[in-house]
Amino acid sequence: MTQITQITGTGIPLLLDDIDTDRIIPARFLRCVSFDGIGEHAFEDDRQQDKSHPFNQPQYHEGSILVTGRNFGCGSSREHAPQSLMRWGVKAIIGESFAEIFFGNCTSLGVPCVTAERPALEALASLIKSDPPLEINVDLQAKEVRYADTVVPVDIAASAHEALVSGQWDFLSQLLENKDAIRKTASQLSYMQS
């Protein structure tokens, strides 16, 4: 199982509030059989309407830490939203707050969502804009974000924190690690016998 204790990368500044899942991935992209290729459509409509959108800007294309505002991921509970961000390259999200289902979907994909105070988010987003190669470290164990000479305390729900740092977020790996115990239990169930 993969433990997620720290994520280091460059940032993508998108300090807006109430970004819903339909904006993250428009409904017409939900018809996919797998999630392959969905990352290229993250914020598709916003990017078409606003050529200055951060996901259109080459200086942020390698960014892996999204900095956003309040109530990020609100709206419908589509798993496609965090899938599209993850497949775009986002490995962690720092925001003021997150919609509960979006937060849970991100955690189950191994994408930590940590919260910080608005002034700290504003300062970080501003610095990313002026210095796109700025290295940012999200340290889940210390519950802080570090960049330049700055340390920002962040918070994350205790259950998500434990799942990520212990590796328990990865349910498929848990199943694979325990396949012998699963087979043993299945062999003892009468309805599993042919």
Q: What digits encode the pLDDT tens for the residues 114-150?
A: 999 999 999 999 999 999 999 999 999 999 999 999 9
pTM for the full model? 0.88
pLDDT of residue 162: 94
For the cut 70, the answer to whether the pLDDT of residue 194 exceeds it is no
Q: What percent of the chain has pLDDT over 70?
A: 92
Q: Residue 94's closest CA among 70, 74, 66, 71?
A: 66
Q: Residue 78's closest CA among 32, 14, 18, 46?
A: 32
pLDDT of residue 134: 97
Rounded-to-integer distance, Cα 38 and Cα 179, Å = 31
Write out the two tokens for 182.
């699963």
pLDDT of residue 128: 98
**Average of per-residue pLDDT across 91-111:** 96
CATH tag for 6-168 (out of 3.20.19.10, 3.40.50.150, 3.30.360.10, 3.30.300.30) = 3.20.19.10
DSSP 61: T
pLDDT of residue 85: 97
- 134-161 b/e (C-beta count within 10 Å ≥ 16 → b): bebbbbbeeebbbbeeeebebebbeebb
pLDDT band at residue 174 under the 50/70/90 scheme: low
Rounded-to-integer distance, Cα 76 and Cα 122, Å = 27
CA distances from 10 to 13, 28, 31, 65, 135 (A): 10, 30, 31, 6, 5
Task: Please state the domain extents for the chain.
Answer: 6-168
